Amino acid sequence: MSLEEYARKRDFSKTPEPAPAPAARAGQRFFVQRHNASHLHYDFRLEIDGTLKSWAVPKGPSLDPTLKHFAAMVEDHPLDYGDFEGNIPKGSYGGGSVMLWDRGTFELIGDDPAAAQIERGDLKFRLHGEKLSGTWALVRMKVSGSKRANEWLLIKKKDEAAEPGWDIEAFAQSVKTGRTQEEIAADLPAKKTAASVKGKKKLSAG
Ligand code: MN
Measured in Å, residue 93 CA sits from the centre of ligand 1 at: 9
pLDDT (0 to 100) of residue 7: 86
Q: 101 near 33, Cβ under 8 Å?
A: yes
Q: What is the C-alpha to C-alpha distance for residues 190 and 168, in angstroms, rounded to an integer?
A: 21
Measured in Å, residue 150 CA sits from the centre of ligand 1 at: 15
Angle made by CA atoms 53, 40, 135, in degrees to the nearest 5: 45
64-120 residue pLDDT tens: 999 999 999 999 999 999 999 999 999 999 999 999 999 999 999 999 999 999 999
Q: What is the DSSP letter of 164?
A: T
Measured in Å, residue 55 CA sits from the centre of ligand 1 at: 9
The rounded Cα 159 to chain-centroid distance in angstroms is: 17
Phi and psi for 74 in degrees, rounded to 5? -120, -175
Measured in Å, residue 205 CA sits from the centre of ligand 1 at: 30
> What is the rounded average pLDDT of the residues 185-205?
64
Measured in Å, residue 200 CA sits from the centre of ligand 1 at: 26
108-136 residue pLDDT tens: 999 999 999 999 999 999 999 999 999 99
Measured in Å, residue 118 CA sits from the centre of ligand 1 at: 20
Q: 42 near 132, Cβ under 8 Å?
A: no
1-60 residue pLDDT tens: 567 788 889 998 888 898 876 544 456 999 999 999 999 999 999 999 999 999 999 999
Q: What is the DSSP letter of 38?
A: S
